[in-house]
């Protein structure tokens, strides 16, 4: 089995760090904005939405690369990503 390409690993690391930063932002916003319900909802929703988008981007990129490199089969990718095999195509 070959190693993960450096470019792929570095990109995944950057995206995972971004996810961590977004989660920290959400936690900070939670604490800072509790007295103001409208601002609390706005900031927490933004953080959750940004986390969702970043997660989807990472999942799509890794799924595509795993399939293209034939490192994982479609079934293995679908199980790991918790999506149907049809969703991969």
Q: Determine contact, residues 86/63, Cβ cutoff 8 Å.
A: no
24 HSE (CA, 13 A, CB side): 6
pLDDT in tens, the chain (89 residues): 689 999 999 999 999 999 999 999 999 999 999 999 999 999 999 999 999 999 999 999 999 999 999 999 999 999 998 888 777 67
> What's the pLDDT score for residue 76?
94
> What's the pLDDT score for residue 78?
92
pTM of the model as a whole: 0.85
Displacement of CA 79 from its chain's centroid (Å): 16
> What's the pLDDT score for residue 1?
67
């Amino acid at each position: 089995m070959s190693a993960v390409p450096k470019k792929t690993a570095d990109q995944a690391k950057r995206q995972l760090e971004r996810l961590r930063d977004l989660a920290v932002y959400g936690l900070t916003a939670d604490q800072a904005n509790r007295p103001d319900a409208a601002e609390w909802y706005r900031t927490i929703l933004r953080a959750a939405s940004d986390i969702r988008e970043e997660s989807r981007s990472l999942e799509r990129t890794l799924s595509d690369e795993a399939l293209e490199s034939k490192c994982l089969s479609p079934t293995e990718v679908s199980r790991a990503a918790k999506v149907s095999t049809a969703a991969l195509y």
